Structure 1
Amino acid sequence: MHGKVGDTFRVTLINDGTMNHSIDFHASKVSPQVQMRQIKPHESLVYEFKANYAGIWTYHCGADPMIHHMGNGMFGAVVIDPPGLDKVDKEFVFVQSELYLGPNGKEGDLKKMMAGTNDGVAFNGYYNQYVYSPIKVAPHSRIRVWVDNAAINEDLAFHTVGTIWDTAWKEGSYVPRKDNPDHGGMQTLDLQPTQGGFVEFTLDDPGAYTFVNHKMRDLSRGGAGQFIVGNPPTTGGH
């Protein structure tokens, strides 16, 4: 979901499952006992809130045990643009999560979640999907990437190889912003679980620019992807 400061969101949650569920929008200021309450199977809930603060906000199921519901994919992101947000050529949203595989065709493994022993990480739900299907962009395009860490246990050190971010936003403020007097740039957006932000940059030369979770263990286990610019060289790079 994507809006701007001042927008009202109205979401209807319908429980067609066999267990209790709920929803918690971190972008909202509401009574948890009213709008975040658990709803039983075959019940529904209308969740309404006004977006008073900018950023990228996690939402998730909060039913017990919360770690099991989130660990099985019951999460997402809401983007609320800050006022005066600059125009860009391309805009993307990456949500990091973890994989705790259970038996084939069954839900994720709660014991693994509690122990923090995941089987891999993913951007937007699929292991290495942007390695297998890279994102193509034109040279010199100005790109904004919103990043939300919806992982239940892992932090995220988001980095793009071969460029420097001239603009970044983390948890409510710019750090830094384009054309700042100190000529400051940023290399890594560090996010704890449920934190978020965005980065802006250009990719000027032909190449394959890898974006990663620079936490090396997770980079090697699904936390990577690529932007493809033009016809990249066949050697060198990451």
Structure 2
Amino acid sequence: PGPRVHRRTLTVEEVEREVAPGVRQTLWTFGGTAPGPVLRGRVGDTFEITLVNDGSIGHSVDFHAGALAPDRPMRTIGPGRSLTYRFTATRSGVWMYHCSTMPMSLHIANGMFGAVVVDPPGLPSVDREYLLVQSEMYLGRQGGTADADKLGAEEPDAVVFNGYAGQYSHDPLTARVGERVRVWVLDAGPNRSSAFHVVGGQFDTVYEEGAYRLRPDGPGSGGAQVLGLAPASGGFVELFFPETGTYPFVSHVMADAERGALGAFAVTR
């Protein structure tokens, strides 16, 4: 099929959500969730995004997947206003989008981020595919917004995958023995790097920031143990599980794993 046009409305909403057991925060979101909705397409596709600000303060959006002058599409709009942001995906990867209104770190830390997946040409099918977005939480009072002082001091209370501390330890991702599993990972930050690792697993495919670093049909017999990502970078890994069991995954920045950047795969036959 030829290039497609993806039209989507992202509505800024202020919502109170549980972000860890017994902990509630008021988040600034794209579409009511943090991370925001996942957008996906192919190289050559056009994305036409309408941003609607139903919040109480000014917000904006910056799509890293589009190369264009930021002056107008990334401008801050006030409550009750909207704008249309149009870009063509010219390069593959998993790209961050986020609010770029200052202080940008606070808007990101309070939930305004998400992922755009642009498939590499010829991306093969796999048996299972997951997307994990790592981010940090700088908790304010119960039901409040992020604590700017903790954020400025780079002292997160939690580091999480997909917006909730430790959720995949209690509700593991699933796979079967011998299946090829692809895991896309985006580090939304705003401050901490990620080192994605599956305990008991080895990666035979690593795609990082738009390029393959390792492929199963490449020369030699090498493998990889971690996908290392700076804030605002992303990629994917692939692996298969040789036997049944529970395979934890973590950010191997161990202090962050202990803050909540962990989960597990439950592997069955």
Same fold (TM over 0.5): yes
Q: Does 1:221 align with 2:259?
A: yes
Counterpart of 2:64?
Answer: 26
**TM-score calculated relative to the size of structure 1:** 0.95
Q: Which residue of 1 aligns with 2:77?
A: 39
Paired residue secondary structure (1:199): strand
> What is the Cα deviation at residue 120 of structure 1?
1.0
Alignment partners' CA distance in 2, 1:128 and 1:115: 23
Which residue identity does 2:233 align to in structure 1? Q
C-alpha RMSD of matched pairs (Å): 0.9
Instruction: Verify: 1:17 aligned to 2:50, yes or no.
Output: no
- The number of residue pairs the alignment matches comes to 231
Structure 1 segment 227-238 matched on structure 2, within 5 A: 227-230=265-268
Does the residue aligned with 1:67 lie in a helix, a strand or coil?
Answer: helix
* Paired residues for 1:70-149 under 5 Å: 70-149=108-187
Identical counterparts, % of pairs:
49
For residues 189 and 135 of structure 1, what CA distance do their matches in structure 2 show?
A: 18
Task: Work out the CA distance in 1 between the residues paired with 2:133 and 2:158.
Answer: 14
Q: What runs of 5+ residues in structure 1 fail to find an aligned partner?
A: 232-238
More strand by share: 2
Runs of 4+ in 1 over 6 A off after TM superposition: none
The CA distance in 1 between the partners of 2:259 and 2:202, in whole Å, is 24
CA distance in 1, matches of 2:87, 2:130: 24
Q: Whole-Å Cα distance in 2 between the matches of residues 62 and 136 of structure 1? A: 35
Q: Which amino acid aligns with 2:257?
A: L
Distance 1:20 1:137 in 2: 42
Amino acid paired to 2:256: D
Structure-1 separation of matches of 2:105 and 2:200: 36
Residue segments in structure 2 that go unaligned for 5+ positions in a row? 1-38
SS of residue in 2 equivalent to 1:53: coil
TM-score (norm 2): 0.84
Alpha-carbon shift at residue 198 of structure 1 (Å): 0.2
The answer as to 2:256 corresponding to 1:180 is no
Partner of 1:112, secondary structure, is helix
Secondary structure, aligned partner of 2:108: helix
Distance 1:230 1:43 in 2: 50
Which whole-Å deviations, capped at 9, do the CAs of 1:136-190 have from their partners, x for residues lacking one? Answer: 2111110000000001111001011111111110011101011212122111111
SS of the residue 1:33 aligns to: coil
Which residue among 194, 206, 222 is the counterpart of 1:156?
Answer: 194
Query: Hey, what does 1:58 align to over in structure 2?
Result: 96
Deviations 1:193-237 (A, max 9, x none): 001000011012001011110011011110110001128xxxxxx
